[in-house]
Amino acid sequence: MEITDQKVTAYIQGLYKPLNPFLGRLRAEAEARNIPVIRKEIETVLLTLLQIKKPKNVLEIGTAVGYSTLCFAMSGNVDHITTLELSENSCREAARNFEEAEQSNRIRLIQGDALETLRELQSESKAPKTFDFIFIDGAKGHYLEVWELCKPLWEPGTIIVADNILFKAMTAADEYLDTRRNKTIVNRMRAYLNHVTEVPGVITTVMSVGDGLAISVIEG
């Protein structure tokens, strides 16, 4: 189910304007193929955060066809993006999109399981030592593991954004659960939110926008 009133969501999405024609076309093509990309209202929140933060190095977990990656790159507020994606097919398509958008030189795309590639990034000499903006939008059952693996990669002031955190309202209430399989994901989402809202040195806000957004800031 939608976590916000459908009329309100439709109104907010009606205010949306694509960042540029390329991204407008890429979004339309992805939506026509039922490929998940960040929702319009999530995109505007992310672009606003980037305008405020102006991060030098962004780490993204979950690339898909590279739509959100290109939003970061083409915002004019980011120097470099490292993005992690499990699917080989998605990586190939994302790489083509990066090339077509003429943004390949600012994006590093790494194929593989994020739980492994994040460990590799911690010791890799050519990777940035730290990231000042992290976007978590990968496998929904592994957010807390990703958070823990990102610890050596962040710095004071880093913003960590986790998408789909309310998971069609199922995170908020068991009455919305639709399958037994989703119960495990929901429990892990709740564990993630419990952690990031209670752990010392982190300020977190949970927003009922899109499918739920958790924005955490590492205190310095």
Residue pLDDT, tens place only, 123-136 = 876 667 899 999 99
More confident residue, 122 or 67: 67
Instruction: Give the amino acid at 174.
Output: D
Sequence spans of domains, the chain: 6-218
Residue type, 138: G
Average pLDDT over residues 130-151: 95
| pLDDT tops 80 at residue 164 | yes
* The pLDDT value given to residue 125: 66
Q: Long-range contacts of range 24-31, CB-CB < 8 Å, 24 or more positions apart? A: 26/65, 26/67, 26/70, 26/97, 27/67, 30/64, 30/65, 30/67
Range name among 5-9, 61-65, 95-99, 189-193 with the lowest pLDDT average: 5-9
Concatenated DSSP letters of the chain = --SS-HHHHHHHHHT---SSHHHHHHHHHHHHTT-----HHHHHHHHHHHHHH--SEEEEE--TTSHHHHHHHHTSS-SEEEEEES-HHHHHHHHHHHHHTT-GGGEEEEES-HHHHHHHHHH-TTS-S-EEEEEE-S-GGGHHHHHHHHGGGEEEEEEEEEESTTTTTTTT-GGG---HHHHHHHHHHHHHHHHHHHSTTEEEEEE-STT-EEEEEE--
Output the pLDDT for position 179.
73
Predicted local distance difference test score (pLDDT) of residue 174: 83
23-37, 115-129, 189-203: least confidently modelled range: 115-129
Residue 193 has pLDDT above 80, yes or no: yes
Instruction: Provide mean pLDDT across the span 165-172.
Output: 88
Percent above pLDDT 70 for the chain: 98
In Å, how far are 4, 10, 12, 13 from 7, measured between CA atoms?
9, 5, 9, 10
The per-residue b/e assignment along 42-68, b for 16 or more CB within 10 angstroms, e otherwise, is: bbbbbbebbeebebebbbbbbbbbbbb
**Which CATH fold would you assign to the domain 6-218?**
Rossmann fold (3.40.50)
Mean of per-residue pLDDT scores for the chain: 94
Q: Is the pLDDT of residue 1 over 70?
A: no
Percentage of residues in the chain having pLDDT higher than 90: 81
> Given this model, what pLDDT does residue 60 score?
98
